[in-house]
Amino acid sequence: MPLAASAIYFLNLRGDVLINRLYRDDVGGNMVDAFRNHIMQTKDLGTCPVRQIGGCSFLYMRISNVYIVIVVSSNANVACAFKFVVEAVSLFKSYFGGAFDEDAIKNNFVLIYELLDEIMDFGYPQNLSPEILKLYITQQGFRSPFSSKSSDRPVPNATLQVTGAVGWRREGLVYKKNEVFLDIVESVNLLMSSKGSVLRCDVTGKILMKCFLSGMPDLKLGLNDKLGLEKEAQLKARPTKSGKTIELDDVTFHQCVNLTRFNSEKTVSFVPPDGEFELMKYRISEGVNLPFRVLPTIKELGRTRMEVNVKVKSVFGAKMFALGVVIKVPVPKQTAKTSFQVTSGKARYNAPNDSIVWKIRKFPGQTEATMSAEVELITTMGEKKPLTRPPIQMEFQVPMFTASGLRVRFLKVWEKSGYNTVEWVRYITKAGSYEIRC
C-alpha cells in the first residue's frame, strides 16, 4: 500500500511549527497540537516512531534539531514514509549546502515550500532526485557560512532527463578500461531435524554490480530463471534447452531496470549507475541445493556426563571449497569440563556462550569431518530436569556456488561508441540462519 500523507510538519525541539504543508482535507490544521500535547510534552519521543491519536497516525523522525512529522488518516506504508523523509532531507541538504537544521529551514522558507509541492502530489511521493529537480527549481538556497562546501555533481542534460529519465547516471563519464563486476550473493536459511530431514529452507539473494563504463551504456542480463528461458524460446520459436531452471520469488529491482522490457522479454535491461549498486533482490523457496548436511548425536551418560558426536558433510562439488566454517554446538550451563577429538580444524569450549565452537578454515567439497566431545557436568543435588537443547548453528562461505542454482547466461554491454568491455562474474553463498536441531 503506498503512502498517502495528509500533511507534513517541521517542528523544532520546543514543538513550534517551523513550516507545514497540507496535502489532503481529511485532517484538520490543528493536528499538530495533538502530536505536541500527547507525545512531545509527555517526553515519550524515543519509544516508537509511529503513534495513533484520534484516528490519525503520526510518523515522525528527528533530524538534527528538527522533528519531521507525517500525518496520515489511512493505513499507509510506514517504510515508504520514512524512506521519503530520508530522501527529502538529502534533497534539502543538496540545496542548502549540506546543512539541515532549524536555521536552514528559517532561511529557506520559500524554497522548501516549492520543493514540497514538487516532491509530493496529493500525499503521494514523486521524484526526489536532486539532479532532476535542479533542472526546474533553479533557485539557490541560503547557505550557512558554517556549512560544508557543496559537492553536487554536474547537472545532467535536461533533454536526456525528459526522454530517457536517467537520473542515476551523469553524462560524460570516461574510463581507460571499461569493466563490469557482477556478484551473486546468497544467504541460506535452514532448519533441519537431528535426523537430517529439512523442516524449513529458503534462499535470499541479491545481485551486486560495480560498473566502470564510459558514456551511457545499455546492459542486458540473462539468467537461467524459468520465465526468462521460456520467453526466449517463444521468441525464437524453438524448444527450451535441457538444464536446470529456477523460479524466482519476491523479485525487486533497482530503479534503473527497464520494467517494460522485462515484462515483454523477461530479460533485465538497464542503464547502470556509475560505481557500485544493488541491481536486484530475490528469494527462492523450492529446489534449494544445501551446501552442508549436519548429523548430530548426543547421549546423556548419567547425571554428570554427555557424549556429543557431530558429522558434517559438504554436498557441493569436489572442486569447490568452503571458507571460514564455524559450527557452534550448545552445551548445558552446568558444564564443568570438555574434551574434543576432531578430524579437521580446531575446537574449543566457549564458556560465556555455553557452546563448543568448532572452526575449519577450509572445507573441500564432497568430504566429511567429524567431532567427538565428552562433556562433564557439575553435580546438582536437586531433581534431575531434562536438558534443553538449542539448535546447532553454522557459519560458512562457499565461493563460486549458489544454493538456488542461479546462473548468469549472458551479460551484454552496448554503447554507441562500440568500445570493448571486460565482464567479471562471481558467485558467493553464505549461511543466513543455518540451524540443526539436536
pLDDT in tens, 38-52: 777 666 666 788 888
CB 420 within 8 A of CB 213: no
Amino acid at 15: G
Q: How far apart are CA 206 and CA 252, in angstroms?
A: 9
Instruction: Report the percent of the chain where pLDDT is more than 70.
Output: 85
Query: 558433510: which residue's cell?
Result: 313
Average pLDDT of the chain to the nearest whole number: 84
Query: Residue 278 has what pLDDT?
Result: 94
Which residues are within 8 A (CB) of 252 and not within 5 positions of it... i.e. 6 or more apart? Answer: 280, 281, 282
Please give the single-letter amino acid code of residue 269: S
Of the candidates 276, 318, 308, the one whose C-alpha atom is nearest the C-alpha of residue 374 is 308
User: Mean pLDDT, to the nearest integer, of 328-348?
Assistant: 92
DSSP assignments along 169-210, one per residue: --S----SS-EEEEEEEEEEEEEE-TTS-EEEEEEEEEEEEE
Q: One fold for both 7-134 and 179-287+403-430? A: no
**Residues 6+ away with beta carbon under 8 Å from 61:** 49, 67, 68, 82, 85, 86
In 3D, which of 127, 135, 128 has the Cα closest to residue 158? Answer: 135
Q: Extract the C-alpha cell encoding 298.
A: 548426543
CATH number of the 292-380+389-399 domain: 2.60.40.1170
Q: Could you tell me the residue ranges of all domains in the chain?
A: 7-134, 179-287+403-430, 292-380+389-399
Nearest-angstrom CA–CA distance, 116 and 85: 11
- Residue 95 and residue 132: Cα distance in Å, rounded? 13
CATH fold, domain 7-134, is: Beta-Lactamase (3.30.450)
76-85, 344-353, 401-410: lowest mean pLDDT where? 76-85
179-287+403-430: CATH architecture: Sandwich (2.60)
H or E stretch at 67: strand 66-72
Instruction: State phi, psi for 106 to the nearest 5 degrees.
Output: -65, -30
CA–CA separation, 375 and 35 (whole Å): 58
Inter-residue contact 199 to 238 (CB < 8 Å): no
Whole-angstrom Cα distance, residue 24 to residue 122? 6
CA distance 33 to 415: 56
- Mean pLDDT is highest, among 46-55, 137-146, 197-206, for 197-206
**What is the Cα–Cα distance from 353 to 21, expressed in whole angstroms?**
52
Which three cell numbers, joined as nine digits, stand for 429? 553463498
Residues near 358 by Cβ (< 8 Å), separated by ≥ 6? Answer: 310, 326, 327, 328, 329, 340, 342, 345, 346, 347, 371
Q: Identify the residue with better confidence: 164 or 409.
A: 409
CB atoms within 10 A of CB 335: 18
Does the structure show a pLDDT above 80 at 236? no
Instruction: Record the pTM.
Output: 0.68
CA angle 14, 20, 22 (to 5 degrees): 140
Amino acid letter, residue 324: G
- pLDDT for residue 339: 92
In the predicted structure, residue 240 carries a pLDDT above the cut 80:
no
Select the more confidently predicted residue: 348 or 378: 348
Q: Is 156 exposed, middle or buried (0-12, 13-18, 19+ CB in 10 A)?
A: buried
